[in-house]
Each structure stands twice: as structure tokens, then as C-alpha cells.
Structure 1
Amino acid sequence: MSIPFLHRGAVLLAQGGRRAVEQVYGLADDTTGRPCSARTRFQIASISKNMAAAAVLLLAERGRLDVHDPVDRWVPNCPPAWRPITLHHLLTHTSGLGHWEEYPLLDLAGAVDPDELLARFHAVPPLFAPGAGWHYSSPGYVVLARAVERAADRAYRDFLAEEVFAPLGMTGSFAGSGAGRPDVATGHSGGRPVRSWDLDTVGMGAGDVWCTADDLLAWLDGLRDARLLTPASVARMIAAYAQAQVGSGPQAYGYGCFVGPLAGERSVNHSGHNLGFKAFVAWLPDSDRRLVVLTNDDEDPGAPTLIDHLLATN
């Protein structure tokens, strides 16, 4: 039986201390002909929410904030309808804030002043009262990143670099624009290069992180081994707080991650999709497997088939 493959990207599957699968495919940049390699950095899109949740929990461990703080303690000028919303609601997508489709006038690729972006979020009423439902919300994670900046008193990207990536040895990872950085993949859609979404402001906290496959494995291992967060904070992060409405079957949402069955096992997982990029990570504690799939073509037909194959046969 043939093994599915990506047209461009990277795949890494580890079990215990062994790397069962480690492959790169295709070109990182069609214009220069540069191939994908172990050093190639991909947008991990919404997997970035893992790191945003960890940032909040690190600050909670240090007593700088509490997950039950109201959002308007950390983000100024919130409208009255936001006042019952807590950081916990934002972390679990139970705040009532919308996803990108609820903000149709927002250009995801266009630069915008941070306060203007918040004003645009403020202008759209919540879909429901906090805690009354579940609705996936990347804007909610942008607001969380703003809260992290206030509580940490430094830029969000700097906090991730210094407090998340460096302690885990994620030397190829960064948050924000990839312009001018080496070894960054160019995003493609259907084989054609596409313009990146804005990751400095619009995607901050929600889909702004770039990683190599090795670094994402280091991230999953750091979560598994409680190397960054305390065991209590890891347990808090991967608890099932709300039933999530997703197409892949019964899943719950923790803090920045989905929790539920995958390939017949317990899993902690998240997918990601930015224009030109798709990504997937999973940690399956029962078999001690960690899977990373990254592609710089958001229409690569091999990605879902490859994920299913690797989880079913390894």
C-alpha cells in the first residue's frame, strides 16, 4: 500500500523517543526554487493558539493575571456587552465573540492600527452571552494576546520568544511577519503563490507563529513532559471545558487546544489554516505519539489523507 505524501511541506511522527517518520517535500519557494528542508519555517496558523494559551497560563503561574479576570481589566475601552467576558471565556471560545466571517469588512492581509482593530471587534455585538455557547473565535485570541502584552509589560512576540520558545529550545520559531527572515516558506494556494495574512496585528495570538517541524515536536514534547508549564497548568490547559462544534467528530475545547478521540485514542490536537498554509499537530498520550504536519499549500490534497494514514498505521 502506497504512503500518501505532501506536494510541499514537512511531516514528523514520533513515538516514545523514536522518530518513526521524518520527511520533507517539494519547494519552499517556487520563485527561487528553494526546496523545503528541516530548517524551513512554516506558518502554523491556528496552532498558534496553543502558545497564546501557554502565555496566559505562565502569567497566571506568576500571579500576573487570573484566567477568571474580566477582559476589560486588561483591554481598555471594552463595550458594555464585553464586561461579563473573562479570559477563560476567550481561551475556550465561549465568549460569544465571532470568528473572521463575522467581521466581513476586515482585510486579513491588510495592516491596521491595533486600536482600530479592537474598535472593529467592539462594533460587532457578541453572538451570545459569555458561557452560553461555543463559537470558534480567532478575534478572541487576538484580544488575549493584547491582555498578555498588558500583563507582561512587553510586546507579545517578545514574550513568546523569551518565555516560550527559548526555554523549549525552539530556535527556529518566531511570531509575526516573516518579511526579511531566512528559511521562511512562501504560502501557496492551488500551486500559486499568495500574499500572507497580516501576522503582526490582525493575526496576533490567533495565527501568528512560524515553526519548523522540529520545533513543533519540541513544543509537543514540552507539553507532554511539563517542561514549560507546571503539571497543574498542563492539566488545566488540556481539560475539556466546552463541547466543540467541529466536523471531525466529538471534540471538546480546552485552553488553546482540542481534546477528544483521534484514531481511537485520547488526543490533544489542533489544526491550522492561514491563506497559503495548513498545519496539524496531535499528541496521543496512550501510545505516546506526537504528529506534526506542515504544508505551504493550503490546497495540498495529500495532507488529510497523510494524517489519517500515519495515525492508522503507526
Structure 2
Amino acid sequence: MGMLKSVRITVAALLIGVLPGCAADQKPPPVMAPCDATLDAVLGAWARAGFSGSVAVSTGGRFDCLAGYGVADDATGTRNTVDTVFSIGSVSKAFTATAILRLADAGKLSLDDRAGKLVPAVTGPVAEATVRHLLLHTSGVGGSIGADDQPLDRAGAIAAINRLEQAFPPGTDDAYSNAGYTLLAIIIDTVSGMSYRDYMLQHVLTLPGGVVGGFWHGRPAAAGPVAAGYLDDGEPGRSNDFAGPYWTTEGSGSMAMTTKELATWTHALFTGELAGLAGEPGHTVGEGRSHTLGGWVAFDASVYGRPIVAAAGGGGDVGHNTAVVWIPGRDQVIALSSNRAVLTAEELLAATVPALVAGEPLPVPTAPAGGGDPAALAGKYSLETGGSFEVTIVDGRARIEASGPDAVSVLFPPRGRFSARDLRGHEQRVLGVLAGRTREGREEREAVADRFGPVTAVTGGGTVVADGEMRTYVTMTTRDGPRLGWYAVDEHSTIEGAELPAGPPSLTLVPVGTGRYRPDDPAGTGPEVTLEFDGGRVTVSGPAGTATARRPG
């Protein structure tokens, strides 16, 4: 499951200054509207660069822009439209938090009630955490309780939560927690007098204008045509036909809807139709950001010049990504969803932020120079230090994979807030977890052994920054052979994400001159490297210097 990483919500007052907005005190009825020509031209350019999904923008409850771009399903050729349904991943947490706030308003619970008091079956370390701690990711218990497609009933979810270790006493630190929001869903299921899904339908998803959205798996399902998702390698993601039970993602990432529905619901939430306190800062996490009681991230005016709140998340192995922003000073909502990893909704937002904050025209992606003969690049290139690069041709374009920690560090140098030291520290934590130094690590090894046979060795394969998080690649030697995969852990060594097996880290290349290539990265969020091919060798240049690899012979 994709998770909201606070650092990745680098979204500002998107599209402000290019939208035909209306005054905040006007409340016209919502209407459907195409994007104006200027905005549509910009979004069209980003669509040609790889964005595939839907966009919804409203001001004062009136839609200024509703549009779809790209293909929703390659098998049928169906296009994305304003009615296309996407998994919203961790944005689901905002809906669960709203349910909790509504129950608190109704006197069914207090935000200072302990989890163990509300659900007596919860007896593990998290039992002492309060509802407030769970909402703000300060319970001390991070991570998840299983794979997204792992059938798990309510009792099994409670048992899994009871087994989780606590990294710190409640309220003394923060650790992003899917498990904490699953526990909130169990609390809703316990104290509301109805099932979690029934409560969500009746008290959170139902607005005066009707029901918005639903669930990705099972019922009540979101109404409308569903987009297929496509992963980093272009392969289809998991569909929405998982038979359940669904408690591995319930509360933390189980919902789906259109961007129009998400924008409608967000406006209703922040204009007081659903719950109070939704956007109020609750726990500061640094750099002008705070987790809120409503499951959002609040940015103070020091970040973008005006306060905003935002939520974002991916559907993990579904291949969807969603981001939504509320700008209170303008009564404005921006919601985007995407169904391809080439250019996600979050990346599109991140690419527009500098211009938006500066009041400049929205940027458009730069087209590659073209030319060159990608087929001539194909082959394996070896570094003297032991690692290698493999160049293949996919759909007429060069794609390069890195194998070995030295090759990975060259092709994927640290960038942004992550330093080389951060990447080394992350790799050490991952290897420690997989060596069985934590209960979660021991359980992960057992799960791998159940699938592939006993694990006899784990070796590090380098660390990259992807989707706003550090991912360390490892090779697990098992009875059935070596298995490459990656793990993401937090500073407390709690597993936040994983994929096993997985392909090597790779980049698609575009020509920028004779023999020179750069990553196909229109949003500017990828590695800052240039590759120069000359005969049987490739020289990779980046912030830390250059390295040359050669083909045999």
C-alpha cells in the first residue's frame, strides 16, 4: 500500500492564478466545467510527457476544471474521464479520521480514550495509546499488519496489532502507521454500533448531494468505470477483485473514488459539513509541517506563503496515485489521480510548485532532443568495482538497470533531503531488520521462507530514493535461488514498504545530444545524472563525480 510521506506532499496553491476562481464568500451550486484553454494546454503537455489520470479543481464549491487524460485501460483503450474511479490509497486515512471525529462529536468516544479501553481485545503495547495518538501517528507502533492482498478478518487484525512492537512511548515521537489507522477502523467498528463500512457509508461518504466514492475491494464499491493501474515496469497492477476479508488495509488505504468525488468531499469537510478539527495542526513534524487530527498534513505559511493542508498516497501494487490539496484562504480544492508510474499525480504537483509559489506561468515538460540509435546501446556494461549496468530496448527506448551497490550508487545518487549518509544508514537498518533483530524482521524472514524456502543469506544491493522514500535493494538467498527485492524502513526500523521479488532499479533514457542521455524525468524528481555512450563504454556523471563501465571485448 502506498503511504502518505509528509516530505512528499510538496504541494502548494496549485493552479492559483490560472483558474477562473470565484470569491470565497460565494457559494454557487457545483457544476461540471472543462478546464480553460490555457490550463488544458499545460495539462495536455504533461499528459504527453506521461501523466495519465484525472483532475478536479473547485473554488467555493464550484468546479473550475474537470478533465481526464491518458488511457484508463490498455486492454480496451478506454480513456480516463471525470467519471473514472481510482484507488486513493492512504488518502483513505482522512476519511477514517473524519469518522473518529464524528464519533467524538457524538459523545461515543473521547480522543483521550485508550485503545485498550475502547477495544478490550487489544492487549499489546499499543493498548495504552490514545485515539489522539493513533490519529497523529504518535502511538509508537508503526508499519502495517500484512500485505494488501492478505486475507485477514477482524480478529486476525487485532491479533496482528497485538504482536506489533512499540518503538517509543506514546506521544514522545512520531512514526507513520498504517496499523494505527487499521486500529482506528476497529474502534469505529466497535463503538459505533455498526460495521466500519456501514458507518463510513452512512456518516462519512453520504453528503447532501448523495454518496461519494466507496471501497476499492468489496462493497460498497465506488460507482463508475475503474482505471487499471500500471507499475514501474509498465506491467498491470493488482485489480480490485480481491475477495477479502479486507482488514489488512481497512481504515488505512481501502477506499476509491473519482477526483470529482474527492474534491466534493474535501470541500464539504473543510466547510464544516462533516467534522470539526479536520485541518487543525496536532503534531509538528518539522519544516513547517504538522500531522492533523483529521489525517491530513498541514503546512504553515512559512512553507508556501499561505497555510494549506494536503493528503496523498498511492495504491501500492495497484499502480494508482492520488493527491488532494485544500487552500483555506481561497476555498479551493485540487484533486489529482493517476494510473501510471511514469508521471504520478504527486510528481505532477511537485513539478508545478515553484512556479505557482512565484506567481509565474505553469511549467511545461521539456521535450527530449530526439535522435540517436537506442539499439546500439544495448548490452551489459561492467564497472571495475564489480557492479554492472544492463541496457535493453523497450518500445524503441533505452532502459538501463543497475546491479550491485556500486552501480546503484552511481546511477541513483542521493538528492533532496536525503544524503549519502542517510542512504547508508537506511541500508544498515534494513539489513538489521532482515537479520532478525526485530520481531517484525523475524516474521518477514519466516514469510519469505514460507514462499521461497529457508533464507540462508541476505546481502545489500544499494539504496535509492523513489516515491519520496529510501528503498534498499537486497538479495535473499533461498532454497529456490536468489531473490532480489527492496525494503523501506523508518528511523525506528519499522518496515514501511517492500516488494519481493522485484526487478533491479532502472531508468528509461532520453537523448539530449550525440551519444548523451538523461533519465526520462519530466517532473524533475529523479536522479540528476547524465550518461554518455562512446563505443563500448558508458560514462555516468552525477553530483559525486563520474564512473565508467565497459562492455566485454
Could you state the TM-score of these two structures normalised by the residue count of structure 1? 0.87
**1:7 paired to 2:55:** no
Partner residue of 1:175 out of 203, 212, 215: 215
Give the match for residue 296 of structure 1. Answer: 339
Identify which of structures 1 and 2 has the higher relative contact order when contacts are C-alpha pairs closer than 8 Å and 6+ apart: 1
1:224 counterpart = 2:275:
no
Matches within 5 A, 1:1-314: 2-3=42-43, 4-5=46-47, 7-100=51-144, 106-169=146-209, 171-177=211-217, 182-190=224-232, 191-196=234-239, 200-229=246-275, 233=276, 236-244=277-285, 249-255=287-293, 256-261=295-300, 263-275=304-316, 276-301=319-344, 303-309=346-352, 311-312=356-357
Pair 95,253 (structure 1): closer, same or farther in 2 beyond 3 Å? same
* Structure 1 position 168, deviation (Å): 4.7
Task: Write the distance in 2 (CA, Å) between the matches of 1:266 and 1:136.
Answer: 22
Matched to 1:88, the amino acid is: R
Structure 2 residue matching 1:195: 3-state secondary structure: coil
Which of the two has higher C-alpha Rg? 2
Map Cα deviations across residues 151-203 of structure 1 (whole Å, 9 max, x no partner). Answer: 11212111111111112535340025058865122222133211158683211
Q: Distance in 2 between matches of 1:298 and 1:160?
A: 30
Query: What secondary structure, in the 3-state scheme, does the structure 2 residue paired with 1:193 have?
Result: coil
Letter in 1 for 2:228: T
Shift of the 272–170 alpha-carbon distance from structure 1 to 2, 3 Å rule, reads farther
SS across alignment from 1:120? helix
The size of the alignment, in residue pairs, is 302
Change (3 A) 1:174 1:68: same
Instruction: Decide whether the 8 Å contact of 1:47 with 1:270 is kept in 2.
Output: yes
Shift of 1:76: 3.1
Q: What SS does the aligned partner of 1:56 have?
A: helix
Contact kept in structure 2, 1:157 and 1:176, CA below 8 Å: no
User: Which stretch has the larger CA shift, 78-87 or 194-203?
Assistant: 194-203
Kindly indicate whether the alpha-carbon contact (under 8 Å) linking 2:182 and 2:252 is maintained by their aligned counterparts in 1: yes
Cα distance in 1 for residues equivalent to 2:209 and 2:249: 24
Displacement after TM superposition at 1:98 (Å)? 1.1
- Partner Cα separation in structure 1 for residue 112 and residue 196 of structure 2: 20
Q: Secondary structure at the match of 2:90?
A: helix
Q: Out of 86-95 and 214-223, give the one that drifted further.
A: 214-223
The alpha carbon displacement at 1:253 in A equals 0.5
Report if the CA contact (8 A) 1:134-1:243 is conserved: no
Q: Which amino acid aligns with 2:237?
A: V
What runs of 5+ residues in structure 2 fail to find an aligned partner? 1-40, 363-553
Q: CA RMSD in A?
A: 2.5
Q: What amino acid sits opposite 1:185 in the alignment?
A: A
Flag the 1:118–1:216 CA change in 2: closer, same or farther, 3 A: same
Percent of pairs identical after alignment? Answer: 26
